[in-house]
Amino acid sequence: MPQLQLRRATVDDLPALKALWHAARLPADELKDRVTEFQIVTTGGNFAGAIGVQIARQHLRFYAEDFADFAVADAARELFWERIQKIAANHGVFRVWTQETSPFWKHWGFQKAPAETLERLPAEWKNLAGDWLTLELKNEAAITHALENQFGNFMAAEKKQTAQVAERARKLKLSITVASFAIFFVCVAVAVYLLLRQTSAGR
């Protein structure tokens, strides 16, 4: 099999992409505005296929998978899957979604999304017709719980530190007040002493 190479699509790939989309009866006029979402696979320098990758917060979906040469499809999917995992890791993705039906994706652990999982599907994808396959990369509930605990511990530490600072400020204020009174009484005592001394000298 010729060596496959993977890269991100550019506007120069639009003619090949549009031909692919038209052949697959995909909405080419809509997809052309999202060309930078696509990963391109080439063989011997020739366009061989593409797949779209879109991210919505902690979710990623891949879509519009198609090939000009289906002889390289599964090998290309392996490259696509490696790239998708890297993109997901870089963006902190919890869950991957797709409506692609190739058995290849089920082999990698994708399963039909049950109703309770579909509730997590980003709103911008809910109007897309078709069944969804999904794969959880990270346990969202566990991570959220851990972050909440970490935030709670951080807030408790901040509260404790604030209380300690306030206590130190109170003690400092008290010390300054005591010192001020002490200085005042010393000044009064000195003034009285000098006054009495002056009076004694005048006699």
What integer pLDDT is reported at residue 147 of this predicted model?
A: 45
Q: How many residues does the chain have?
A: 203
Cα pseudo-dihedral 17, 18, 22, 26, rounded to 10? 70
Q: Looking up tokens 């550019």, which residue turns up?
A: 10
What integer pLDDT is reported at residue 160 of this predicted model?
A: 78
pTM across the whole model: 0.68
Q: Extract the residue ranges of the chain whose pLDDT is less than 50.
A: 143, 146-147
Q: Where exactly are the structural domains of the chain?
A: 4-138
In CATH, what class is 4-138? Answer: alpha beta
What integer pLDDT is reported at residue 128 of this predicted model?
A: 92
What integer pLDDT is reported at residue 171 of this predicted model?
A: 80
Kindly report the number of other CB atoms within 10 A of residue 31's CB atom: 20
What integer pLDDT is reported at residue 134 of this predicted model?
A: 96
What integer pLDDT is reported at residue 167 of this predicted model?
A: 79
What integer pLDDT is reported at residue 140 of this predicted model?
A: 67
